[in-house]
Structure 1
Amino acid sequence: MKKLINNPRHVLREMLEGFVDLHPGLALLEEEAVVVRAELPVPASRPVALLSGGGSGHEPAHAGYVGPGMLTAAVAGDVFTSPSTDAVLAGIRAAAGPAGAVLVVKNYTGDRLNFGLAAELAHDEGIPVEIVVVADDVALRDTVEAARRRGIAGTVLIHKLAGAAIAAGKPLAEVAEIARAAAADLGSMGVALGACTVPTAGKPGFALGDNEIELGLGIHGEAGVRRGPMQPADTLVAEMLDAIVSDRSLGRGDRVALLVNGLGATPPLELSIVARAALTDLAARGIVVERAWAGNFLTALDMPGCSLSLLRLDDARLALLDAAASAPAWPGGGRIGPKRRIAAPVPAPTAEVVVIPSPLADALKVAGLAVAGAFEKAEPHLTDLDSRAGDGDLGASMVRAAEAIRALPGTAWATPAVALKSVGDALRRAIGGSSGPFYATALLRASRRLSGVATPTPAAWGEAFTTAVQAIADLGGAKPGDRTMLDALHPAAEAFAAAVAGGKSPAEAWAACVAAAMAGTDATARMRPRLGRASYLGDRAIGVPDAGAAAVLVWLQALKPIIR
Structure 2
Amino acid sequence: MKKLINDPRDVVREMLEGLVQVSPGLALLEGETVVMRAELPPDPASRPVAVLSGGGSGHEPAHAGYVGPGMLSAAIAGDVFTSPSVDAVHAAIRATAGPAGAVLIVKNYTGDRLNFGLAAELARQDGIPVEIVVVADDVALRDTVTRERRRGIAGTILVHKVAGAAAGRGHTLATVAALARRAADRVGTMGVGLGSCIVPSAGVPSFQLGADEIEFGLGIHGEKGVRRTSMSSADAIVKAMLEPLLDEMKPAKGEPVALLVNGLGATTPMELAIVTRAAFGELESRGLVVGRAWTGALMTALEMPGCSISLLLLDGELTGLLDDPTQAMAWPGSGKVAATPRVVAAPPVNKQPEGVAVDGPLSQTMRRVVDHVANALENAERHLTDLDSRAGDGDLGASMARGAAALRTLPAFSFASPAPLLFAIGETLRRVIAGSSGPFYATALLRASKSLSGADTPDEQQWRAAFARGVAAIAELGGGREGDRTMLDALIPASQAWLDGSWPDAVRAAEGGALRTADMYPRLGRASYLGDRAVGVPDGGAVAVTIWMAAISEALG
Query: What TM-score bracket applies, with the shorter chain setting the length?
Result: over 0.9
1:347 deviates by 3.5
Residue-by-residue CA offset, 1:259-300 (whole Å, 9 max, x unaligned): 010111111111111111111111111111111011111000
The amino acid of 1:197's aligned partner reads: I
| Equivalent residue runs for 1:67-86 within 5 Å | 67-86=68-87
- Partner residue of 2:364 out of 362, 366, 389: 362
The amino acid of 2:474's aligned partner reads: I
1:396 deviates by 0.8
Matched, 1:51 2:52: yes
- Give the structure 2 partner of residue 531 of structure 1: 524
User: C-alpha distance in 2, partners of 1:306/1:360?
Assistant: 56
1:148 deviates by 1.0
User: C-alpha distance in 1, partners of 2:451/2:254?
Assistant: 63
Counterpart contact for 1:526–1:543, Cα < 8 Å: yes
Bigger mean CA deviation after superposition, 509-518 or 7-16: 509-518
- Partner residue of 1:554 out of 519, 541, 547: 547
- Give the structure 2 partner of residue 219 of structure 1: 220
- Partner residue of 1:494 out of 479, 493, 496: 496
The amino acid of 1:393's aligned partner reads: D
- Give the structure 2 partner of residue 475 of structure 1: 477
1:291–1:359 Cα change, 3 Å: same
Residue-by-residue CA offset, 1:337-393 (whole Å, 9 max, x unaligned): 132112211147887656853211011011111111111111111111111111111
Counterpart contact for 2:354–2:413, Cα < 8 Å: no
1:143 deviates by 1.3
Residue-by-residue CA offset, 1:226-282 (whole Å, 9 max, x unaligned): 111111111111111111111111131111111010111111111111111111111
The amino acid of 2:508's aligned partner reads: A
Matched, 1:399 2:401: yes
- Partner residue of 1:521 out of 510, 514, 517: 514
User: C-alpha distance in 2, partners of 1:28/1:107?
Assistant: 26
- Give the structure 2 partner of residue 193 of structure 1: 194
1:398 deviates by 0.5
Matched, 1:27 2:20: no
User: C-alpha distance in 1, partners of 2:428/2:553?
Assistant: 23
1:215 deviates by 0.8
Counterpart contact for 1:245–1:251, Cα < 8 Å: no
Matched, 1:511 2:504: yes
Bigger mean CA deviation after superposition, 184-193 or 330-339: 330-339
User: C-alpha distance in 2, partners of 1:402/1:57?
Assistant: 47
1:513 deviates by 1.4
- Give the structure 2 partner of residue 88 of structure 1: 89
- Partner residue of 2:374 out of 363, 372, 375: 372
The amino acid of 2:94's aligned partner reads: R
User: C-alpha distance in 1, partners of 2:358/2:494?
Assistant: 31
1:333 deviates by 1.2
User: C-alpha distance in 2, partners of 1:553/1:2?
Assistant: 42
Corresponding residue SS for 2:556: coil
Quote the RMSD (CA, aligned, Å). 1.2
Counterpart contact for 1:322–1:332, Cα < 8 Å: no
User: C-alpha distance in 1, partners of 2:358/2:412?
Assistant: 13
TM-score of the superposed pair, with normalisation by structure 2: 0.98
1:355–1:147 Cα change, 3 Å: closer
Unaligned runs of 5+ in 2: none
Counterpart contact for 2:358–2:413, Cα < 8 Å: no
1:331 deviates by 2.1
Corresponding residue SS for 1:331: coil
User: C-alpha distance in 1, partners of 2:555/2:55?
Assistant: 70
TM-score of the superposed pair, with normalisation by structure 1: 0.97
Bigger mean CA deviation after superposition, 352-361 or 107-116: 352-361
1:115 deviates by 0.4
Corresponding residue SS for 1:525: helix
Residue-by-residue CA offset, 1:26-48 (whole Å, 9 max, x unaligned): 11012110111112111111111
The amino acid of 1:303's aligned partner reads: M
| Equivalent residue runs for 1:304-453 within 5 Å | 304-337=305-338, 338-347=340-349, 357-453=359-455
1:5 deviates by 0.6
- Give the structure 1 partner of residue 100 of structure 2: 99
Residue-by-residue CA offset, 1:523-550 (whole Å, 9 max, x unaligned): 0010001011111111111011111101
User: C-alpha distance in 1, partners of 2:230/2:197?
Assistant: 19
1:224–1:483 Cα change, 3 Å: same
User: C-alpha distance in 1, partners of 2:401/2:125?
Assistant: 72
User: C-alpha distance in 1, partners of 2:10/2:240?
Assistant: 39
Matched, 1:12 2:12: yes
Counterpart contact for 1:195–1:206, Cα < 8 Å: yes
User: C-alpha distance in 1, partners of 2:406/2:536?
Assistant: 32
The amino acid of 1:556's aligned partner reads: M
User: C-alpha distance in 1, partners of 2:379/2:514?
Assistant: 18
User: C-alpha distance in 2, partners of 1:497/1:195?
Assistant: 60
User: C-alpha distance in 2, partners of 1:414/1:227?
Assistant: 58
User: C-alpha distance in 2, partners of 1:405/1:17?
Assistant: 57
Corresponding residue SS for 1:561: helix
- Give the structure 2 partner of residue 502 of structure 1: none
- Give the structure 2 partner of residue 506 of structure 1: none
User: C-alpha distance in 1, partners of 2:323/2:354?
Assistant: 55
Corresponding residue SS for 2:431: helix
Corresponding residue SS for 1:60: coil
- Give the structure 2 partner of residue 36 of structure 1: 36
1:369–1:352 Cα change, 3 Å: closer
User: C-alpha distance in 2, partners of 1:395/1:149?
Assistant: 48
1:99–1:377 Cα change, 3 Å: same
The amino acid of 1:394's aligned partner reads: L
Matched-pair identity in %: 63
- Give the structure 2 partner of residue 484 of structure 1: 486
Counterpart contact for 1:251–1:285, Cα < 8 Å: no
The amino acid of 1:473's aligned partner reads: A
Unaligned runs of 5+ in 1: 500-508
